[in-house]
Structure 1
Amino acid sequence: MLSRLAGLPSPTSLHPGDERRAGRWTSPSFSRRAQKGHKPSVITSQRSLGDLSSAIVAEIRNEIRKRARPENVARIKRFFKEEVEIRGLMSAQIKEVVKLAHPKVRGDLSLALEVAEDLVESGVLEEASVGIGLLQRMTRRFTPDLFDVFDGWVDQLTNWASTDGLAAGLISETVRLDLGRVERLLLWTASGNRWRRRAAAVSLVPLARRGEMLDEVFRIAERLMIDGDEMVQKGVGWLLKEASRRHPDEVREFLLRWRDRAPALVLRYASEKLPKGKRVLKTK
């Protein structure tokens, strides 16, 4: 049951730990920034972008209210240590709303960004899920400069679900388009914001799963291996676990070098996909 609770399935695999049991969530945060290179369509230009966006957002919120399941809220909240506003929709219901909303943005990325921003600023998890769902349908229109837009959104993140949705669902796409953006992710690892540090790791999860950018995975991980925040530890452990699918020997060697210093949680998560006899855990 919980695996079907609110949250649009992300392009990544299951989340680790409590996140995994809660279900798949995508709930990024957005900030208003002009999107260079993405001009409004003729239809959009007939009305102000803001007015059209507001109308679409109002329709989306109405659809979410109609599908609200208050009886699910308490169960979902158990998987968050932070305060998160939730309506209790099932994942299938989130998909329904995304499907209804997608034609309204008419393939206009600028409009979709405006809509998504308003939804996320509400602080309602399901609204953010719809916002990212719209953008995930438009990743073919992404350009590397969107990384700078997403960078500004990270400071608004308040929970692991939003962080993972933004990082694995959207930021990863911009990194794929311009691998040099990893240098920016490296800077994030020194941030005082726990969600920015987690995002630094999770942004490479889809790439790591495909066996790509192993050197960059290790560079990010090295800077987070002894992070004292549990949410960051889960993020870096998840990243290494995904990398181990294609590079088990290299990841195991990396973990062995860190076994004496890294938290047990990081080692446990990172070793999940390794053969039982080769998992690197804390020695008693």
Structure 2
Amino acid sequence: MTTGTLNELRSALRSQAEPGIRAQHMRVLRPADGDELLGVRVPVMRDLARRYPKLPPADVDVLLHSRVHEERFVGLLVLAEQARRARGADLKALVDFYLARTDCVDNWDLVDCSAHLVLGPWLLDGAPLAVLDELAASPRLWDRRIAVLATLALIRAGRFEPTLHLALTLRRDPEPLIHKAVGWMLREIGRRDRQMMLTFLDQHLPDLPRLTVRYATEHLPPDQRARYVKRR
């Protein structure tokens, strides 16, 4: 049963739909069969999520199981906002809620808007990093991407080893979206400690996918980047 608050959120979301944005999102997201795209801008969805930070779990669950892509997106943003405010057992409950519903996190934008914001605070609070290995071993592409993106919170806190570990664990992954995600996280390390990223690339370049190297080196001077990409 949906609540009045949830119905308000859904109505507000639909009122912001734009045909032009929908066409753009169709090209970029390539939604699965059965998914509905409204065409709502991301800043609008972020603003909506901030307006409903106390949405109860049952309503968040309804959003996450919706076939409307933007409803899942907003549901994840609400969950991320709740995780930002939570501590201790409350935070763990939100993480468990998220991990039990990763089948609803089924596109790259849904992963990227939620993994580091929901799992990140929990990992920074001392949670076992084994959960990242479990996700990385999943047959689901999106679980593996969640593992990689969750480490962004650790990178921002100056903890790089979990990302480097996953970069090696997933180096033979068949999915380009994993290669891109790993390269992106390596680039984030490089923004904070360029020498660490370069040392990692120098040590493991033959084993890393070319796409990972291309993404990791985007911020390097063109001549230096070209040398790494060419060597790969």
Coarse TM-score class (shorter-chain normalised): 0.7 to 0.9
Q: Once superposed, what is the RMSD of the aligned Cα atoms?
A: 2.2
SS of the residue corresponding to residue 217 of structure 1 reads helix
CA distance in 2, matches of 1:71, 1:282: 39
CA distance in 1, matches of 2:173, 2:222: 26
CA distance in 2, matches of 1:116, 1:126: 13
Deviation at 1:123, TM superposition (A): 2.4
Is 2:170 the partner of 1:224?
A: yes
Is 2:78 the partner of 1:134?
A: yes
Equivalences for residues 1-284 of structure 1 within 5 A: 54-83=3-32, 84-102=35-53, 105=54, 111-138=55-82, 139-143=84-88, 144-145=91-92, 146-180=94-128, 182-208=129-155, 210=156, 212-279=158-225, 280-283=228-231
Residue of structure 2 equivalent to 1:42? none
Deviation at 1:211, TM superposition (A): 5.1
Deviation at 1:154, TM superposition (A): 1.5
CA distance in 1, matches of 2:186, 2:140: 21
Using the size of structure 2 for normalisation, the TM-score is 0.86
Deviation at 1:157, TM superposition (A): 2.3
- TM-superposition CA deviations, 1:170-204 (whole Å, max 9, x none): 11122112242x11101221211111111111001
CA distance in 2, matches of 1:252, 1:217: 14
* Unpaired segments ≥5 residues, structure 1: 1-50, 106-110
Counterpart of 2:200 in structure 1: which amino acid? F
Q: Is the Cα–Cα contact under 8 Å of residues 68 and 89 in structure 1 kept in the other structure?
A: yes
Deviation at 1:87, TM superposition (A): 0.8
Deviation at 1:265, TM superposition (A): 0.5
Deviation at 1:100, TM superposition (A): 4.0
Using the size of structure 1 for normalisation, the TM-score is 0.71
CA distance in 1, matches of 2:180, 2:7: 36
* Unpaired segments ≥5 residues, structure 2: none
> Which segments of structure 1 move beyond 4 Å, counting only runs of 4 or more?
none
Deviation at 1:78, TM superposition (A): 0.7
Count residues in correspondence.
224
- TM-superposition CA deviations, 1:193-233 (whole Å, max 9, x none): 1111111110011321x252212221121101221101111
CA distance in 2, matches of 1:158, 1:115: 19
Q: Is the Cα–Cα contact under 8 Å of residues 76 and 88 in structure 1 kept in the other structure?
A: yes
**Residues 122, 66 of structure 1: alpha-carbon distance in 2 compared, 3 angstrom cutoff:** same
CA distance in 2, matches of 1:116, 1:260: 44
